[in-house]
Amino acid sequence: MDIRAILMGLAFAVMWSSAFTSARIIVADASPMAALTLRYAISGLLGVGIALALGQSWRLTPAQWRATILFGVLQNAVYLGLNFVAMQTIQASVAAIIASTMPLLVALAGWMFLGERLRPLGIAGLIAGVAGVSLIMGARIDGGVDLTGLLLCGIAVVALTIATLSVRGATSGGNFLMIVGLQMLVGCLACGLATLLFETPRLDPSWTLAAAFAYTTLVPGLAATFVWFWLVNRIGATRAATFHFLNPFFGVAIAALMLSEPLGGRDVLGVVIIALGILAVQISRQRVS
C-alpha cells in the first residue's frame, strides 16, 4: 500500500465518520428523508456533470449498473435514510459506532454464507467487535437511549452489509465518478418516494443547517464515496476496508468535539475494542487472500 493510498484512506475515514455529526445537525432543523432527497439530487447532478466534463460515459457495463442500483437503494436510501431518521432521537456517536461494525458483519456473512475462510485472528476480531458493541450499548441502554433508533441503525448497517457483499468487484472498469453520481440519483428517487409516502416535510432555516447541509452534500456525500471507489480499485476491497477500523475513533471524537456529546469510560473502552476487532478481521482476511 503506497503513501497516496494511505493518505486517501485516512481522508476517507475522517469524511465518512464526520457524516454522522453533520446529519445530526441537519435532522434537528429539517425532516430527514426530504433533506436526503435534496442532498442526493444536488450530489448526483454534480457528480454526473463533472463526470461528463471529464469524458466519462453513463454507458456502464451490466455489472456496473447492478452495482449502481443496488448501492443507490441499499446504501443511499435504506442505510443513510434509516440513520437520518434514527438520529432524530439518538446521538451521532451511537449511530457512528453501530455503522462502523459493517466490516465485521461483512466478514461474518462471508464466513457463514459464502464459504470464505477466516483465520483464528479474524474469529477473535469478530468476538472482540461483539464485546465492544455490547459494552457500549449496555451503557447507553442503561442511560435510556431510544431503542427504536438503535433498531433502525441496526437495520441500516445490515442493508449496507448486503450492498457491500452484492457489488464487490462490480465497479471496476472506470467511470468512477459517473457511477457515484448515478448512485446518488438512484438514492434521490428512492428517498423522494419515501418522503411522499411517510413524511411531512419540515424546515427551520438557519446558517448552521445550511453549513451542515452543504458539508454533508459535498464531503461525505460526494467526495468520500468517490475516494472509497478509488481505494477499492487501487488497493482492493479487503485492504481498503482496513481503514474502517479508524471509524469508531473518528466518529465518536468528532461528535464529542462538534456536538459536545458525552463520552464515558465504557464508551472509550468499547471503541478501542471494536477498532481492534475490525483491524484483526481485516488483517486476517488480507492473509487469506
> DSSP assignment, residue 101?
T
Interior angle at CA 189, CA 187 and CA 193, nearest 5: 115
pLDDT cut 70: percent of the chain above it: 94
Residue among 28, 129, 23 at smallest CA distance from 82: 23
Q: How many angstroms separate the CA atoms of 284 and 289, rounded?
A: 9
Q: How many angstroms separate the CA atoms of 229 and 242, rounded?
A: 14
pLDDT cut 90: percent of the chain above it: 43
Write the pLDDT tens digit of every residue in 163-198.
877 766 555 566 778 888 899 999 999 999 999 999
Cell numbers linked to 4? 497516496
Q: How many angstroms separate the CA atoms of 61 and 173, rounded?
A: 8
Give the pLDDT band (50/70/90) at residue 38.
very high
Q: How many angstroms separate the CA atoms of 200 and 101, rounded?
A: 32
Write the pLDDT tens digit of every residue in 62-118.
888 888 899 899 999 999 999 999 999 999 999 998 998 888 888 888 888 877 787
Write the pLDDT tens digit of every residue in 148-167.
999 999 999 999 888 877 76
SS percent in the chain: helix, strand, coil, step 5: 80, 0, 20
Cell numbers linked to 231? 481505494
Q: How many angstroms separate the CA atoms of 95 and 78, rounded?
A: 14
Q: How far is CA 244 from the centre of its chain?
A: 10
